[in-house]
Amino acid sequence: MRTYYAMVTESRLIVNGGCYSPLMCGRFYLTASSAEIRKQFKLDKMPELVPRYNIAPMQTSPIVVAEENGRALHMARWGMVPSWSRDLSPGAGMVNAPAETLQEKPPYRKAFDAQRCLVPANGFYEWQTRGAKKQPYKIAVRQGTLIAFAGLWERWTPEGGEPVMTFTIVTTRASKLVSEVHDRMPVIIAPPDHQRWLTAPALTAKKLLVPFAAGLTIGAVSDRVNNIKNDDVSLLQSAEL
């Protein structure tokens, strides 16, 4: 039996005079096989994963981090929790990290300097307000190619308990295509830049925080994706408007 955690309530965030939703990206999916992920991210070890079609905040998903002997994949809780936090509750407000504030806010600044990660995905969802209704859209690279979001990670340890790895997804202004439905999008790191994002100095990594536009596709999907209990392949099917 799977356990699902409550979604964060929708709110707004002011960044450099603009008003953005902190939950962009608020859902994504990962359907690639373990073999594909291992090859794409140059991993020595890779656990068996099941396809996920509706990954939501506070749930776990794989992240790729740099370690002394190369790269490693860890399962981590979506919603970054600073190591000094008393509990996991701050994660609800740290699902996304706006690229504009990474070097301003202390929890992000520390992680941006030394704890960057790649978040494997095949695509993400966003909602466009259409009158009284919010229409969900699926956004991905053509052919559903495996991609990587820019992420930051932390390790939080409860008193007398086991460490919990947590992460946040970095967002930036939307590309022209994505702006048709939302003003923000996750930062997507192209394969040639994977190592640069993981290990380069912060000033170099900052140059990668730009909208990704190469080969993106967008299409309406069923509002079944609104419910995090729905997690099946039919969520990816096109819907008529």
Active site annotation includes 104: no
- Taking the C-alpha atoms of residue 159 and residue 166, their distance in angstroms, rounded to an integer, is 17
DSSP E strands: which ranges in the chain?
A: 13-15, 18-20, 27-30, 52-55, 60-67, 70-78, 96-98, 116-121, 123-130, 133-141, 147-156, 164-173, 184-186, 216-220
Q: Is 102 helix (H, G, I), strand (E, B) or coil?
A: coil
The catalytic residue among 36, 100, 126, 240 is 126
The catalytic residue among 25, 36, 104, 162 is 25
- Taking the C-alpha atoms of residue 170 and residue 196, their distance in angstroms, rounded to an integer, is 15
Contact 111, 129 (CB under 8 A): no
Active site annotation includes 25: yes
Q: Looking only at Cα atoms, what is the longest distance across the chain?
A: 52
Closest CA to 235 of 120, 123, 132: 123
Separation of first and last alpha carbons in the chain: 34
Q: Which residues pair with 30 in a beta bridge?
A: 52
Show which residues are catalytic. Answer: 25, 126
